[in-house]
Structure 1
Amino acid sequence: MSEFYDEVDEEVRREQLKKLWDKYSIYIVALALLIIAAVGGWRGYQYVEEKKAAQAGAAFNRAVELSGQGKHEEAEKAFAELVTKAPYGYRVLSRFRVAAEVANRDPKAAAKMFDDLAADSSIGAEQQELARIRAAGLLVDSATYPEMKQRLEPDTVPEAAFRHSARELLALSAFRANDTAAARLWTEQILADSETPPSLRSRAQALQALLPPVAKS
């Protein structure tokens, strides 16, 4: 008897499922097709983006080779083209490289390009800091010490990624301006930082040796 009831229940369930299918099958099929299309579209997008990235990477490497061969004009054009066409990561890298190539013929124009990068919040704080350092490096021989200090002092704090370079540039600028106190201040900060790279530490020691001794009170 229980088997009979089981068969009846099974038949009722089948009938209910059939009614549900008849009523909602078009929506279920449509949803399944949408899922398939979405997955296919996403995979297609990934393929296209990976292809673009591979092409941009190859073009970037060719531009780097041109620069290494001293063909700076050709390298500049190649990097400039990547700025307009490459995926985001290569666009940012290429903006830095275009400015570096321009520096070979026009340091002030290159410094302006690095300043533009430093002002672009879309590239990230560390990249902005690097751009400020690169601009200051091009201007260290022409800008006044107060100008250099205004540019770089925020990047000398302990948590700054490029604090070592910022301090060295300020020390050099102060030395060039005959500001002994400021030059000593920055060299001492360089030498006091346990994370200062060895080569930079050696340069700071050499610069400090050129400073006149501190007057005794």
Structure 2
Amino acid sequence: MALTPTTKQAATDEAFLREVDDAVRAGDLQSFWTRFGRWLLLALIAGLAAFGGWIYWQNVKAAAAEKTGDAFVQAVEKLDAGNEKAGVAELTKIAQSDQAGYRAMAQLLLANIDAKNGATAKANAVYAKVAADEKAPQVFRDMALIRVATAEFDSLPPQKTIDRLKPLAKPGTPWFGSAGEMTAISYMKMGKDDLAGPIFAQIAKQEDLPQSLRSRAQQMAGGLGIDTVQLDAKSGKASTGGSAATAADGGNSK
């Protein structure tokens, strides 16, 4: 179909407008690039450099952790071989490392060696240090807390032991057996047998705990008038009432 003059003119005008629009856009882009292109390039380079630096730092940390891990294994092997002097020397270096996990393990091993050699005060200071190290893995902090609580059990007021072990003296926590037993005995020292009994009863029913600990707890619970056979395994309530969790909280649970 032939285009009329009017149609031809409209098509020509439309093409012209597109060319003008493209020219304006090109001009705007060129102007924008002239003004901001340098800064965009710098930002891009900085971003790539930061990303590259992050990858490098992750690789450095991984390599450092691997190196520290190898040194820790070698130190333990020297201890196992009876070469305590060399093993302690290696562990002492690792105990100053910025690798929190290996640092805590090295400190705990050194503290154990000190305790074995009779340096109780030195060992307890290290246990307390690990327990307070917020960068150390929680499992090592809890282990250190149990160790220092055990070492200082006879010298501290019972209430301080209860307060110190409160987070661990609850059923379901990995250290409930040890922490619960010390907590229950502390309550007995304070004349609070009604709070000690349920904890002993709960320890006696924990099948994942050592049998020697469970038997001891069963005897203690029985001496306090609680028949562990009547303990409800689901609710954790003893026949005399109350629960291990309530007792661990000092009888303040509502």
The 3 A distance-change label for structure 1 pair 8 and 68 is same
d(CA) in 1 for partners of 2:83 and 2:174? 31
Higher helix fraction (1 or 2): 1
Contact 1:53/1:86 (<8 A) preserved: no
**Counterpart pick for 1:75 among 87, 90, 97:** 87
Give 1:67 deviation, angstroms.
2.4
**Counterpart pick for 1:167 among 154, 157, 180:** 180
Residue 147 of structure 2 aligns with an amino acid whose one-letter code is R
Give 1:13 deviation, angstroms.
1.0
1:111 aligns with 2:124: yes
1:130 aligns with 2:143: yes
Give 1:86 deviation, angstroms.
4.0
Give 1:75 deviation, angstroms.
1.9
Give 1:126 deviation, angstroms.
5.0
**Counterpart pick for 1:188 among 201, 213, 222:** 201
5+ long unaligned stretches in structure 1:
none
TM-score normalised by the chain length of structure 1: 0.73
Residue 42 of structure 1 aligns with an amino acid whose one-letter code is W
**Counterpart pick for 1:197 among 208, 223, 235:** 208
d(CA) in 2 for partners of 1:210 and 1:13? 88
Aligned to 1:52: 64
Contact 2:127/2:144 (<8 A) preserved: yes
The 3 A distance-change label for structure 1 pair 148 and 69 is farther
d(CA) in 2 for partners of 1:20 and 1:210? 83
Percent same amino acid at aligned positions? 23
d(CA) in 1 for partners of 2:109 and 2:43? 48
| Structure possessing the higher radius of gyration over alpha carbons | 2
| Count of residue correspondences | 205
Contact 1:52/1:86 (<8 A) preserved: no
Aligned to 1:157: 170
